Structure 1
Amino acid sequence: MSIASRASWFALVTIAGLSIATRVQAQQPPTARGGDVTIYSPADFADNAPANAWDMLSRLPGFVTVDADEDVRGYAGARGNVLIDGARPTSKHEDTKTLLKRIPASAVARIELIRGGVPGIDMAGYALLANVVRRHEATSQSAIEAGMMAATDGWLAPKGQWEYGRRWDGHTLDLAVKLDPELDDDTGRGHIDTFAPDGTRQQRERLDTRTIKNKAEASASWRQPLAGGQLTLTGAARGERARTDTRIDALAPAEGSERVHENEDTDEAEAGARYVREFGERTRLELMATRHQAWLDDRERSHEDFDDETFDEHTRTAESIGRIDLTHAWSDALTLNGSFEGARNTLRSTTRLQQDGIDVALPGSDVQIAERRSEAAAGATWKPAPGWMLDADLRLEQSTIAQTGDSPRQRHFTYPKPRLSVQWDVDPNDQLRLALSREVGQLDFEDFVASASLETDRISAGNAELKPDRTWRSALTWEHQLWRDAAFTLSWTHERISDVVDRVLVITDDDIFDAPGNIGSGRRDTLSVDVSLPLDGIGFHGGRLTSSMQWRRSRVTDPTTGQPRPISEEKPVEGSIELTQDLPALRTHWGIELEHIAERKTEYRYDEIKRESEGMGWTLFVERELGTHWRVRAEATDLFGRWFSETKKKYDGPRSVEPLEEIERRRRRSPGFVSLTFRRSVGG
C-alpha cells in the first residue's frame, strides 16, 4: 500500500474512531454561544496545567490557528485568525505560536471563540476567530529558558530565551530575547544515482550535506491608554546565519568530487504602531502603521575537479503600511465596516554568476522594484433571522509596479475583489458555511530576481513580465460540535484561477532559462478534515486526539507540452495528527505528533520534471512541572532519521521536442535530534 493510501486509511480510521467515541462519550451541552461567542475561562483549562496562552489555544475544539502570511505584501490579505485583547498583532513576520507562548497562562483572563457578527470585530473572511483577553490587574512576570539540542550525527547547540512582562494602571510592557539554533532538514547523508533512459545505472555518488541555522531575535511591545483608546508600539530585530556544506564523491564507474559551500545571512528590523478606540458600545476605530526592512547576503561557491563556480546575491527589501479600519454596529442585526490601506514596497537586488571566473549573463541579475498599493473596502454583516448570518464586502485594489535595472518597465493593476459568505446554525451542534470570493495573488518580488543552486546545477532567471493570479473561490464547510470539547470540521474548496504563476521558458540572445511565469488558466479542489476529540469516553483519561488532513487536486496546461498536469510544487496530501494526555496528579503533559504525512510534490520545468517526497516525521515530548516555578521539557524528533527522495527526469532541451537524456535519483536520510529545556518563571 502506498504512503498516500496509508494516510487516507489513517484519516478514515480517525473519523470512524470519532464516531465510536461520540457514542461512548456522555453528551454534554456546549457552552452557550450567545449566537456569536463561546467563552473559555482559565478554569476550563485547569486540568491541563497550561504554561502559556498557546497551550490554552491549542485545546480549543474546532479551531485551527492560521498565521499571518509574511509573504503577502500589505496587511489586509496577510491577517491571521488570532486576536490579542481584541486586536490583531501589528507584525505579520512573527508567528502566532511564538507570540502566544510569551503570554503566561496566569496572565490570561479568558479566551473567546468568535463566530461572527460581534460588534466591532472584523472577521476578515474567517469563520472563526480566537481572542486572547489578558488580565488587567497589576502583575509582573519574567521567565528564563535554557536548554540543549543534540542531533544523532553529533551536532550539539545551546538554546535559550528570556521574557519579561509587566502590567499596571492600563500600561503593558513586554520584552523578549531568543536564541534558536536549528539543524535544517536539508541535512543528511545518502546517494545520487544517475540512470540512462532505459534504466541502466551510469553512475553512483555519495552525498553528504549539512545546513546549520543560528537564529536570534529581540522584541519589545508597549501599550498604554491614549485619548480614550489604546496605543500599542512594537519593535523587533531578527537575524539568521545559515551555513551549508555539501560534499559529493563519485563512487563508480568514474572518480571525482564536488564541494559546495554556502553562506546566507538574513537580517530584519521592524517597527509598528496600532491605535484602537471605542466610541460608545457600537463603533470602533483602528489605526495601524508598520515599517519592515530586510537584508539578504548570499554567497555560494562550488569546486568540482578543475571547475569553479560562484553565485552572489545581495538583496534589500522594505515595506511600509498604513491602514485605517472603522466598524459600526448599526443595530443588533447589522454591522457595517470600512477600511483603507496604503503600502509601499521596494526591492533592490544584484546577483552574479561566474563559471571559471567568467560572468554568465542572467535575466533579472540587476533589479530595482518599487510598488505602490492601495486598497479600499466596504462591507456589512447582517443577521436576518436567528441562526443566520450574511457577511459581504467589496474590496478595490490598485497598484503600480515600476522596475528598473536590466528589465525596465512600469505596469498598473486594478482589481475588484467581492466576497460573500452565508452562515447557518442548523442546530446547537451543527453549522454550515458557504463562502464565495474573488482573490488576487500577491507577486513575490523574489520571482523578479535571478537565482542559482550550484549543488543541483539549477539556474532560474528573473521574470519582469509576471502578473498576479486571480481566483474565483467557493468554499462549503460543515462544523459539528460533538460536545463542549470536541469538534469535527469538513470543508471543500473549489478554485478557478486565471494567470496561474508556475514555470515558463525565457529565451535571451545568449541562452535559454527556466523562470517563474504565468501559464494561463487552472483549477484547484481541496478537501479538508479537522478533528479535535477528547478520549476520556474510551478510557484514555486526559487524552486528546487532534488531526488535520488536506487532499488537493489541481489542473493546468503545461506551457511546454500543451498537456494537462497539476500546478508545480503543490502537495496532493498534507496532514498532521497529534495525541496528547494530561496527567494532573503527576503534573505532567506528554504527547506524540505525526506530521508531513504522505507529503510529496512535483515541479515542472521546460527541460526537467522533479518529484520530491519525504518520510513521515514524528516528535515525542514530555513536560513536567517541578514545584511552583519550574518546568522541564524533553523532546525526541525522528530519532531513527527521516528519508527524503528526489527524482529528476532531465531532457536535452524543451520536453516537447527533445528526448529524455537521463534520470537522476537522490535519496538521503536526515538525522534525528533530542532536546532538553528548563524553564523558570517568576511572578503571576
Structure 2
Amino acid sequence: MTMRREHHHALLYACLLAAGACLPAAAHAQSAGDSRSRTVYAADYFDDVAPANAYDMVLRLPGFTIVESDADVRGYAGATGNVLFDGARPTSKREDTAALLKRIPARAVARIELIHAGMPGIDMGGYAVLANVVRRDDASTEWAVETGFSAATDGGAPEPRAKFEYGRRRGDTALDVSLKSVREIDDDTSHGSIRTREGADTWRRSLDMRTIEGEQEAAVSWRQPLASGRLSLTGALRGEDARTTTRIGASAVDDAERIGERERYREAEVGMRFVRQFRGRTTLEAMASVQRGWLEEREHSQAGDDDERFEGDTGSGETIARIALTHARSDVLSFNAALEGAYNALDGDSRVQEGGVDVPLPGSDVRIRERRGEATLGATWNPAQDWTIEPGLRVERSEIAQSGDSPLQRGFTYAKPRLALRWDAGKSDQWRLSLSREVGQLDFNDFVASASLDGGVVSAGNAELEPDKTWRATLSWEHRFGEDAALTLGWTHDRIEDAVDRVLVVTDDDVFDAPGNIGRGRRNTLSLELAAPLDAWGIAGGRIRSTLLWRASRVTDPVTGRGRGISDEEPVEGEIEFSQELPALRANWGVLVEHIGERQTKYRYDRITRESEAVGWTLFAERRIGEHWRLRAEATDLFGRSFSERREKYDGTRADGAVGEVETRRRRTPGVVSLTIRRSVGG
C-alpha cells in the first residue's frame, strides 16, 4: 500500500505541474540578444528577484537545471558539471558548482548565457544546455561574512556555521579567497523503534540515533593574463567529519546495543588551467590537477557480551592532465578534440573483529594503481537553420594493477561513440535526440572490504569487477512559454551489459556479499522539469520550479534467477519549489518540497532491505536590510519526518532459504531551524 501511495502522490504532483505549465506565462522584457544556439540574459533581467549571488541568478534561468560535477568519476572529461565561468569549466571537479556560484556576488555578474548544442567552437561535454556566467571586468573589491546556526527541535545544542569570502578583480586579473566551517544535524538523527519477528516470537526495542556532521574548507584561486591567454590557479584544503551514536534499547531477549561510528576525511588539491583563443575561431584549453585524500572509519558495536569492531583506513590520489582544442571552421561547422591522461591510486586496509578475533575478509588489504588515457574527437554541424548534428567518438584505455590479498592486473579498451541531433521546431519548441555508448567507471572502494555494524552487513571487496557498458538513447522536448518559462520532458532508455549490482562471494571460511557484475539489464527513465512565473494566477512575483523523475530498471537476480530492479536505485525522485519576491518589504519567501516518493530496495544474497522516507519540506524567508545586510531564516521538517526500513533476513540464501527474521525499523527525525546573517561590502 505504501508503494502505491507514493506513486499516486508523484502522479498528483505531475498533474498539478502540467496544469501550471499550460497557463500563459507572464512575458518579462528580456534585455538580451537571442539566437538559435545562445540566449543572453543581461544582469538587469534578474532585478525582479533581487539576487544575492550568481547562484540565485542561475536558478532563475528558464529551462535550466544545475548538474553538479561528480568527484567520484575518475578523470576530468566525464566528471564536469554544466556551468561555465567566463567561458571555461572549473579547474576542480570536487568543488560544488553551487558553492562556486554563491561566491560570485550578483553585482559582479555582467550577464549569463544559455548555450545550446550547435554553438560553434563550444565543447558541450555531452550536455544539451550549458550556462555561462560572465563576470564584469571593471575593477572591484568585494568581501562578505556570513554566520549563523542550526538547531534541532528535540532540544539538542545549536550547531554553528561561518563563512568568509573575498574577491578582487581588475580587468582579467582576479583573486578569490573563501573560508568555510559548517556543523549541522544529519537526518539520520531520529527516535523510533525496531520490531522484530522471528517465527512466532515478536519483540520491540527503542531506537535512538544522533549524527553530527562537520565540513571545513579553505580555497583560493588566482587568474591573470598570460601569453595572450588566461591562466587560472586554484588550491583547496577540505575536511569532513561525521559522528553517529546509536542506542537500541533493551528487550526481553537481549541487552541494549550501543553503536558508535566516526568518519574523518581530509583532502588537498591544487590545479591549473590555461585558455587561449586564436583569432576568435580556435580555442585551446590545457589543465592539470593533483588531489590527495585520506579517509579514516571507525565503528564499534556492543550488546551484552557481543563486541564487534570495524576499522578502515584509505588513502587515495588522482593526477590529471588534459589538453583540448575547439575550432570553428565556419558559422555552421566546428570541430573539437582532446587528450586526457590520469593516474589514480588507492591504498585500503580494513579490519573486522568479533569478540576480539579477526574475521578474514576478501579485499581487506588492497593496493590499486590505474593509468588511464582518453582521446576525443567531435564535430558540430548545422546543415540547416533549424538543425544541429553532433557526432563524436571517445576512446578510453585503462590499465589497473592490484596488489595485496587479491593481486590482479587487467587492461580495458573501450570505444564510446555518440550522435546527437537538435531540431528547433519554431521559436517555442526544441527537440533533442541522442544515441551513445556509455562505459561506467569502477569505484575503487568496491575493491575494498567494508562493514555496517548497525545494518548488520559485511561486504567483501571484489577484485574482478568490470565496468558496466550501456547503449543509451535519449529524447527530450523543451517548450518555452514567452521568455520566462519552460517545460522540458525527457525519456531515456538504457541497454546495459555487465550491470554492476550485488553477488555472492564464497571463501573457505565464510560467505559474503560483494559488488559484482550480474549480466544484462535495462532501464527506462522519464523526467519532467518546469520553471514558470505565477503572475497569471494572480500571485505577483511568484514562481514555481520543479524536477520530477521516474525510473524503472530490470536485471536478472544472480541468486534467484528471477527478474528484479537494480539494487539501490530509486524509482521516483522529485522536488518542487515555490518562491515569491515581495519588493515592498525588500524580502522574499518560499517553500521547497523534496524527497517526493523516495524509496529503494537493496538486495543481498541473504536479505532484502526496503527503505522509504516521507516527503520533506523547507520554509524559508529572507529580508534585505539596507544595502549590505541579509537575514535568512529556514525551518526544515518542523514537525519531523518519518523513515521506515524493512529487513527480510533469510535462513541461507534467498534462493534456497525461507525468511527467518523480519525486522522493521520506524524512526522520525526532529525538525531543524536555522538563522543566517550575511554582511557584504564592495562592488
Q: TM-score, normalised by structure 2?
A: 0.98
Q: Structure 1 residue 25: deviation in Å? A: 4.8
Aligned to 1:543: 542
Aligned to 2:585: 586
Q: In structure 2, what residue type is equivalent to 1:212?
A: I
Aligned to 1:443: 442
Aligned to 2:245: 245
Alignment of 1:557-576 (within 5 A): 557-576=556-575
Distance 1:313 1:160 in 2: 31
Q: In structure 2, what residue type is equivalent to 1:46?
A: D
Distance 1:241 1:495 in 2: 37
The Cα offsets for residues 479-524 of structure 1, whole Å up to 9 and x where unpaired, read as 0011111000000000000000000000001000000000000000
Secondary structure, counterpart of 1:44 in structure 2? helix
Q: Which moved more, 1:551-560 or 1:237-246?
A: 237-246
Alignment of 1:19-168 (within 5 A): 19=22, 21-22=23-24, 25=26, 33-155=34-156, 156-168=158-170
Contact 1:25 1:538 in 2 (8 A): no
Alignment of 1:396-415 (within 5 A): 396-415=395-414
Runs ≥4 in structure 1, deviation > 3 angstroms? Answer: 24-32
Alignment of 1:338-487 (within 5 A): 338-487=337-486
2:514 maps to 1:510: no
Aligned to 1:213: 213
Aligned to 2:19: 16
Aligned to 2:224: 224
Q: In structure 2, what residue type is equivalent to 1:233?
A: L
RMSD of aligned alpha carbons: 1.2
Q: In structure 2, what residue type is equivalent to 1:124?
A: G
Q: Structure 1 residue 30: deviation in Å? A: 10
Q: Structure 1 residue 132: deviation in Å? A: 0.1
Distance 1:191 1:179 in 2: 34
Aligned to 1:191: 193
Secondary structure, counterpart of 1:34 in structure 2? coil
Q: In structure 2, what residue type is equivalent to 1:174?
A: D
Q: In structure 2, what residue type is equivalent to 1:257?
A: A
The Cα offsets for residues 436-469 of structure 1, whole Å up to 9 and x where unpaired, read as 0000001100000000111222100000010000
Distance 2:31 2:51 in 1: 22
Distance 2:229 2:201 in 1: 71
Contact 1:30 1:484 in 2 (8 A): no
Q: In structure 1, what residue type is equivalent to 2:13?
A: F
Aligned to 2:521: 522
Contact 1:309 1:355 in 2 (8 A): yes
Distance 1:292 1:5 in 2: 45
Distance 1:88 1:143 in 2: 24
Q: Structure 1 residue 27: deviation in Å? A: 9.5
Distance 2:379 2:603 in 1: 43
Q: TM-score, normalised by structure 1?
A: 0.98
Aligned to 1:203: 203
Distance 1:594 1:642 in 2: 12
Secondary structure, counterpart of 1:647 in structure 2? strand
Contact 1:193 1:201 in 2 (8 A): no
Q: Which moved more, 1:650-659 or 1:220-229?
A: 650-659
Q: Which moved more, 1:631-640 or 1:147-156?
A: 147-156
Distance 1:512 1:171 in 2: 60
Distance 1:35 1:193 in 2: 59
Distance 2:366 2:154 in 1: 41
Q: Structure 1 residue 4: deviation in Å? A: 2.0
Distance 1:431 1:170 in 2: 36
Secondary structure, counterpart of 1:250 in structure 2? coil
Q: Structure 1 residue 221: deviation in Å? A: 0.4
Secondary structure, counterpart of 2:434 in structure 1? strand
Pair 286,167 (structure 1): closer, same or farther in 2 beyond 3 Å: same
Distance 2:26 2:314 in 1: 57
Q: Which moved more, 1:335-344 or 1:451-460?
A: 451-460
Distance 1:393 1:131 in 2: 22
Pair 553,30 (structure 1): closer, same or farther in 2 beyond 3 Å: farther
Pair 611,326 (structure 1): closer, same or farther in 2 beyond 3 Å: same
Contact 1:549 1:576 in 2 (8 A): yes
Secondary structure, counterpart of 1:384 in structure 2? strand
Pair 153,617 (structure 1): closer, same or farther in 2 beyond 3 Å: same
Contact 1:393 1:420 in 2 (8 A): yes
Distance 2:566 2:160 in 1: 41
Distance 2:517 2:29 in 1: 52
2:8 maps to 1:5: yes
Aligned to 2:297: 298
Q: Which moved more, 1:129-138 or 1:656-665?
A: 656-665
Q: In structure 2, what residue type is equivalent to 1:193?
A: R
The Cα offsets for residues 409-442 of structure 1, whole Å up to 9 and x where unpaired, read as 0000000000000000000000000000000001
Contact 1:204 1:250 in 2 (8 A): no
Secondary structure, counterpart of 1:324 in structure 2? strand
Distance 1:658 1:250 in 2: 29
Distance 1:30 1:161 in 2: 34
Distance 1:405 1:456 in 2: 27
Structure 1 vs Structure 2: percent identity of aligned residues?
Answer: 58
Structure 2, unmatched stretches of 5+, are none
Distance 1:240 1:422 in 2: 42
Contact 2:27 2:483 in 1 (8 A): no
Secondary structure, counterpart of 1:2 in structure 2? helix
Distance 1:28 1:136 in 2: 25
Secondary structure, counterpart of 2:249 in structure 1? strand
Distance 1:645 1:243 in 2: 22
Secondary structure, counterpart of 2:10 in structure 1? helix
Aligned to 1:178: 180
Q: Structure 1 residue 32: deviation in Å? A: 5.0
Distance 2:184 2:367 in 1: 32
Distance 1:25 1:233 in 2: 43
Aligned to 1:664: 663
Contact 1:28 1:483 in 2 (8 A): no
Distance 1:16 1:105 in 2: 33
Q: In structure 2, what residue type is equivalent to 1:447?
A: D
Q: Structure 1 residue 163: deviation in Å? A: 0.2
Distance 1:667 1:250 in 2: 17
Q: Structure 1 residue 631: deviation in Å? A: 0.4
Q: Structure 1 residue 8: deviation in Å? A: 1.0
Structure 1, unmatched stretches of 5+, are none
Secondary structure, counterpart of 1:383 in structure 2? strand
Q: In structure 1, what residue type is equivalent to 2:138?
A: E
Contact 1:31 1:484 in 2 (8 A): no
Q: Structure 1 residue 201: deviation in Å? A: 5.2
Distance 1:2 1:303 in 2: 38
Distance 1:324 1:671 in 2: 49
Q: Structure 1 residue 589: deviation in Å? A: 1.2
Distance 2:254 2:603 in 1: 31
Q: Structure 1 residue 154: deviation in Å? A: 2.1
Distance 1:68 1:527 in 2: 22
Distance 2:420 2:409 in 1: 36
